[in-house]
Amino acid sequence: MNTPCDLPFHIGKYQVQAELGRGATGVVYLAVDGFKGRQVAIKEVHAHLLRKPDDADRYRKLLRNEVMLTARLRHPNIVRLLDADEQATQPYLVLEYVDGQPLSAFTTPDTLLPVAQVLDIAYKCCNALEHAQREGLVHRDIKPANVLLSKEGEVKLTDFGAALAVRSDATQLAGLVGSPSYMSPEQVQEQDLTHHSDMFSLAVVVYELLTGRRPFDADTDFATLYRITHEAPTAPRLLRTDLPEHLDAVLLRALAKRPQDRFATWADFADALLTVQHALPAQRTQDSEAQRFALLRALPFFADFHDVALWELMRLGRWRWAPKGKVILFEGQPGDSFYVLVEGRVSITREGWQLSTLGPGVTLGEMTYLQPEHKIRSATATAETDVLVLKVRNPSLREASADLQSRFDKAFIKVLVSRLAATSKQLGSWELSSPEE
């Protein structure tokens, strides 16, 4: 981080603290939003690019277009756009500040991240790019420098300045756009682009993070572009023998020359990466966030929770393993939390009588949340097998976003209606089986 003495004191209402970096089109500064008391990143266009009226008009239009394209992106793995001023003397964007490093810091043989972490990063990038696709965007410049890794391990995709809106009439960059080493064959050939182009570029990034080498690099950009369109990459495991057995097939499929030969969807690519990750030798207590996210996503209870809500829940809850025979809830005891049963089975008893056996996807103890005045557990829940649960404290959920609370409320209502219907059905069967008077 540079702190030259000639830093601008203010950009708009933001007080500049340091220079974070600079590129061909602008400088990125670390600044403070005094009103909200938070650090932000400001991307300001170079002054020399604005000297000619035609150039200035073009760069202002492109910045305005970037604002239009990215303002609607709301995903935990995409850097948020907070503010912008394309009419300023030097136009600028104000972005969420990520205290960390770009993935380009981890692309040499001596700086490579653990394999499990790379697969976790790739999984989160798939989720982010799937969100962008749903919003009609193709990023077009996926590369390590445009993926940030925070000090806490969070992954953030950034720089949608080259993004293509596939359903827009807005002014956009045309021609050969992107960084040569990470371009897809269809980018090189200036064909129509879909999400498959970003998929190819992400696979190049993952390949580089795992091996310390880019799959198509050559001595010149022209030679690199030729290799991208004509030559097959070396299998990653030939460059690094400790990589998981099935990783070659996953990456080489994502690096297929023809878009239709790659994974059909981002979900397919993410699932394939997750399958490889599951095969890594690791303790269950060290399951990655991506694996746990996938476990929650697969549960019917969370069918109406979008990714942002699930990630918020991941931060909110506490994961717990319980061995067979462990009592999770005690009848008659007070409680201020509920549990989501993610894996395994539990037995529900009341006054020594077994009421039911429940499997993954159910909630336990939610009535203490729905009825705060009644904190006493009405039944005992005991693990019939080893179980994985997500514990959510009632006070924490009440302080969560209104969206997450609303989704839980709706999901709980569905659960209660389902239980009521099951009870009514059971009562009906008892009536039918009763002897006539």
Strand partners, 30: 18, 41
DSSP 8-class letter at 257:
S
Q: Which residues of 261-281 are buried (b: 16+ CB within 10 A; e: fewer)?
A: ebbeebeebbbbbbebbeeee
Instruction: Burial-class residue 353 by CB neighbours within 10 Å (0-12, 13-18, 19+).
Output: exposed
Contact 158, 148 (CB under 8 A): yes
User: CB-based contacts of 236: which residues, under 8 Å, 6+ apart?
Assistant: 207, 210, 211, 243, 247, 248, 251
- Residue type for 236, please? P
Q: Report the distance separating Cα 215 and Cα 120, nearest Å.
A: 20
Contact 250, 272 (CB under 8 A): yes
Strand partners, 2: 19
141 is known as an active-site residue? yes
Of these residues, 120, 141, 198, 287, which one is catalytic?
A: 141
DSSP 8-class letter at 279:
T
Report the chain's C-alpha Rg in angstroms. 26
For residue 9, give the 3-state DSSP assignment.
coil
Question: Token digits for 154?
Answer: 């969070």
Residue 335: phi and psi, rounded to 5, are: -155, 150
Residue 32: phi and psi, rounded to 5, are: -120, 130
Contact 81, 71 (CB under 8 A): yes
Q: Report the distance separating Cα 223 and Cα 216, nearest Å.
A: 9
Instruction: Burial-class residue 398 by CB neighbours within 10 Å (0-12, 13-18, 19+).
Output: exposed
Q: Point out the residues that are catalytic.
A: 141
